Amino acid sequence: MGLVRKGDNEKQRKRMAIQSMKDHMESRAAAERIPLQNEEKLCKKCGFKARYPFIRCPECNQMQ
């Protein structure tokens, strides 16, 4: 009876690993479907433009 349980446990572990990998791949695919947010950010002081969010302007070192 112990061997049957061990085999069942191994099968269940394989099923869980496959399911968790499916969930992981589905979440990655969903993240790739979301469009990138690449609108321009502008510094209020010097007018520096960037397509990434910044807290401190790389040009004039002013906090945004």
Q: Can you give the pTM of this predicted structure?
A: 0.42
Q: Is 41 exposed, middle or buried (CB count within 10 Å of its CB: 0-12, 13-18, 19+)? A: middle
28 and 46 part of one domain: no
Q: Are residues 10 and 27 in the same domain?
A: yes
Domain match, 29 and 49 both: no
Digit-coded pLDDT (tens) for 7-63: 889 999 999 999 988 999 999 898 888 877 778 899 999 999 998 888 999 999 888
- Examine the domain organization and report whether 26 and 2 are in the same domain: yes
44 and 23 belong to one structural domain: no
Question: Which pLDDT value is given to residue 1?
Answer: 57
pLDDT value for 63: 85
Domain that holds residue 16: 1-33
Provide the number of structural domains found in the chain: 2
Would you tell me how many other CB atoms lie within 10 Å of the CB of residue 42? 13
Does one domain contain both 43 and 56?
Answer: yes
For residue 52, the 8-state DSSP code is: S
